Every structure is written in C-alpha cells, then in structure tokens.
A and B are shown apart, each in its own frame.
Chain A
C-alpha cells in the first residue's frame, strides 16, 4: 500500500489530499475566497495568512477523512509553483516539515501538471497522446502531457488569463467577484450570438491565446449603449472565450495526433466551455476528459495524484532545499 499526501497552496485554497494506491481517499479544502471577495480579487497577504491558519486543521481533516494517521504516509507531495510566492511558501514549509519529521520522501510538483494528473483519479491512466487545456484566473495554457511529470507548453496567454477576462467583464457588468460562475449563470438568459465579439488570435496557426482585446471590445461595446443587455453581453463574451479555447485545444490534439483532451482549472467548470468542447471533440474523434468540478479548481488531491504517479514510477524525490517558485516556467 502506497499512501501519498499532497499539499496545494498556490493561490487562495489550502488543499490537502490523500491518495492510496492511485485511489482518492481525502480531499480537504479550506478557502479564503470570501475574505478576498470584498477586494474584488485574491490579495496575496490575506492568502498567505489564511494558509498559515488553515494548514494544520486541513491536514488533520484529510487524515480523518481518509481514516489514516500521519505515520501511515509513504511520501509527501507539494506544489512548488507557479503561484503567489508567500502562499506557496506556507505549503512548501509544511510539506518539508512533514516529510522530514516522518522520514519520508518529498516531491515538489508543477501546479499545471497536477491539474492534468488529477484526472487519473477519476478516469484512469492517461493515454500517451494527451493534451491538457488549463484555464483559470491565473493561467491559460495548452500543454502536451505525453509525460505528465514533464509537460511541454504548446501555447499560453500573451496578456490576460481566461478566468481574469471573466473577472474583468463581470466587473464591467457590475456582477461581482469571482466572475466565472456569475457570468455563466447570467449568460443562460442571454443569446450567445447577440453580439459578435472578436476571437483574439483565432486561426493564426499558433496555440497562444489573447483575451485583452476581447475585454477591450466588451468595454467599448458597453460604453456605447444607453441600456446594457447584461445577459446578452455575458453570453456573447462567454461564447467568444469558449470558441477560441476549444478551437485551439482540438487543433492541438489533431495536429499532434493526441486522442485525449483533459481540461482543468477553475474555468473548466464553465458550462458553455464544457458543452462546446464536447461537441468539437466528438467531431474530431478526440476523447474529452474533464474532472468533476471539485477536482478542477485548486485542491490537494491533484498534488497527491501526481505525487503518487512519481512514487509509482520510482522517480527521484526533490532535494531537501526545494523551494517555492512563484514563476515556474515549463519547457516550450
């Protein structure tokens, strides 16, 4: 029996997950999102302090849920980066202390790789040809995960992240924070083709994204209206984001002969993105895998899942001086 505990603190969720022999046994999460809502976004200092307060109770909660003691652990995994420096530091320090105290190996992992690896808990091993689309408030990346422990970036956003565009458009429409779930809900009463917002960088032959121009177009369109049809703006904006993301993700699968697409990150919860991805993947003969919402947003289970894959393949643990890496670039 191999027991791996994973710690994730790259943003505002304190996540601790436990995976036993490839099976999810606990996924405890404490979120400081309510503390951040009044600022309209995540505040790094607030996040760091919240992580410090939540870390030990969340570890205890995870052990309780899994019915295991800390002494049952065989390895500890932790998100090294990328993320908010102070927030990452709390998780890395806790993981090091646990690993050193228990005398078990420590594995520092990449946040985006963990977002893909988590799907093995729900849908089994990843086939060799797998592309990951990772979309959240801080990331918009297409990665080739032939080896999930060493992803290669195919493309990423050149300006704003997809989730950030949702936040900013929600701000323009006076809808509150975080923008993703609110825009999704409001969009249900609107028409996706009411307004033809631009599809930034669509069909340009790259796998990069740009959402800044779309944000500008929405701002300008709103400024020109006497009476703003909020639901139509939300639906048309959401359509533009989902259109470009799915177009490029499916193109990446086809171009690189990958038969599986995994979508992860908070924006993976968006209903229109999921529906359009399902439609286009089916047409292209690509299998779409999206973990359940609780595993798409930041959590500790994804770190434990990747840690478990590393232990299973006999990977070398991280050196004891492994540190938080707020910018943690992947090879292109």
Chain B
C-alpha cells in the first residue's frame, strides 16, 4: 500500500492496532527516516496509549501503558531479540504488543509468528510517498490475513 504523509502513516498505525492482540510481535523495517516511529506512534494511539510514543533509540526500549501495554524497542544496537531479556523490562511480552524498529534480520531467529512491516522509500528523492508491505508470518496470523488486506485507514 502507498502512504503519502507522516499523518497518513500514523493513521495506518491506528488502523493496524485494530488487528493486533496481546502477545503480538511487530517488526518494523525501513531505512533511517522511513517513518517507523510515525507508524509506531499510530499503533500506540490505537492501542490506547495516552502519551505520544517518542524515539526509543537512546534507551533501547520504552514501555507504555495502554488498553494493551506497548513495548517499543530499537533493535539497531541489539545483537538479537534474546538481548531484550537483558533490558529487564517490567512488561511481560505475552501481555503486550511489542514493536521492534530495525527488527529486520532478527525474524529468522524467531520460533513464533510475527507481523513484518516493510516500509520503502521511493528511489526518486523528490517523491515522499512510502510503500508499506504487511506480511503476517506464522499460524498466529492465519486467520488475520484477510483483516490485514482489508485495512481501512
């Protein structure tokens, strides 16, 4: 799907929140400045987090209280998702939606399913439109793929 502005990226995130359930892992991939944090902000708002999600880069991970708890991770400096355990987060992964930026390449180390969100920028520098591809991986997504395809935002 094509996303024209940062506002649209947040709207897509809010819609996406509607298909997420506790325990879900969402991997956000795309180059620096693709809009990963904007999408995460939309998902956070859609899951009832009151404050705006800000960049988790400096602290590696931020925990947010919402209708569903949200754990927002920057994996750029993590060697693998196993290192998430080393951060001693208070929120158990099974009860939260975990959003991982720079999560590409970590997917194959995961036994369970996840949602892969790939954000690509246009090759034309003047073109601001992003292309977003959503791929539900694993049995946890078997009966939700139609929901992904039908996202209205």
Chain A residues within CB distance 8 Å of chain B = 39-45, 84-86, 137-138, 157-161, 164, 167-168, 171-172, 212-213, 215-221, 223-224, 326-327
Contacts and interface: CB of A to CB of B under 8 A. Distances in A.
A220 B122 CA distance: 10
Contacts of A137: 58
Contact of B54 (A42, A159, A171): A159
B59 A44 contact: yes
Nearest to A215: B33
B55 A160 contact: yes
A138 B73 CA distance: 15
5 A-B pairs closest in CB distance: A216-B33, A224-B125, A138-B58, A219-B33, A160-B55
Contact of A42 (B31, B52, B58): B58
Contacts of B87: 44-45
Contact of A212 (B55, B59, B125): B55
Interface residues of B, number: 23
Contacts of A164: 55, 57-58
Given A160-B57, A161-B58, A215 B32 contact: yes
**SS class of chain B's interface: helix, strand, loop or mixed?**
loop
B58 A159 contact: no
Contacts of A213: 6
Interface string B12-42: 0000000000000000000111110110000
A173 to B, nearest CB: 12
A40 B87 CA distance: 17
Given A40-B77, A41-B77, A85-B88, A216 B59 contact: no
Contacts, number: 66
B67 to A, nearest CB: 19
Contact of A43 (B35, B55, B77, B121): B77
Interface string B37-64: 1100000000000001011011110100
B55 A39 contact: no
Contacts of B142: none
B86 interface: yes
A246 to B, nearest CB: 22
Given A44-B87, A158-B52, 10 more contacts: A39-B77, A41-B57, A41-B76, A44-B60, A45-B86, A138-B59, A161-B58, A164-B57, A172-B32, A218-B33
Interface in B81-100: 86-88
A197 B31 CA distance: 19
B104 to A, nearest CB: 17
A219 B31 contact: yes
Contacts of B62: 327
Contact of A158 (B31, B54, B57): B54
Contacts of A39: 77
A220 B33 contact: yes
